[in-house]
Amino acid sequence: MPGRPPGFAGASLDELAAACGLNRPSLYAAFGDKEQLYIATLRFYGARSIDGLEAILGGPGTIAQRLGKVYTAAIDLYTAPPHRPGCMIVGTAAVESPTHPQIAAVTNELLAAIEKSLERAFAASDLPRKPSPASRAAWPAPSCTPSPFARGWAARPPTFAPSPPRWCRRSVDEVVIQCGA
């Protein structure tokens, strides 16, 4: 969405058309309506996020090191200047899902894919089998929701932000060591 996104509801069709380099009739011809454009964008960026997650989780290092890389990459991506875009899935998609069933369905698909990626990584790790990889995979979701980002690192100007590695270590410890206990 254009500039500092006002979100799905706040973006006008004229702003969206300008950001896409299209006129309104072309936007409608390509996507049908604003919701379908948003869903296509959500799917595109969701797929890129899942590909990145899979690449990091399938890479070298312990599961704790790889989770730390995931959290650091998310912080870097979602807080990148100049716009600090945030995460579409837990940002606007979560807000719009209750009143837009198609957005809710895509959001649920993406969240399920993220959980499956995490579950595969936990199953392939050297962690004890209890709690199960599925239980561990469900644990990171609360630390990826808007509230930690809104209260934590992403919501503050960079000069006042806590150290991302320290924040990541705490989150990784919760997932790897304490989850399900």
Nearest-5° angle of CA 148, CA 107, CA 90? 15
Contact 154, 78 (CB under 8 A): yes
Contact 15, 29 (CB under 8 A): no
Nearest to 6 by CA among 111, 91, 81: 91
Span 114-127, pLDDT tens digits: 889 989 998 998 88
Q: Above 70 in pLDDT, residue 139? A: no
Distance of alpha carbon 177 from the chain centroid = 23
Tokens of 99: 């009143």
Q: Which fold has domain 34-178?
A: Tetracycline Repressor; domain 2 (1.10.357)
Give the C-alpha distances (Å, rounded to integers) separating 1 from 36, 39, 73, 155.
13, 12, 21, 19
Quote the pLDDT of residue 29.
87
Nearest to 133 by CA among 150, 116, 151: 116
Burial class (CB in 10 A: 0-12, 13-18, 19+), 34: middle
Q: How confident is the model at residue 170 (pLDDT cuts 50, 70, 90)?
A: low
- Give the number of other CB atoms < 10 A from CB of residue 86: 20
Q: How confident is the model at residue 44 (pLDDT cuts 50, 70, 90)?
A: very high
Span 147-167, pLDDT tens digits: 333 333 333 334 434 455 555
Tokens of 45: 């960026």
Quote the pLDDT of residue 157.
37
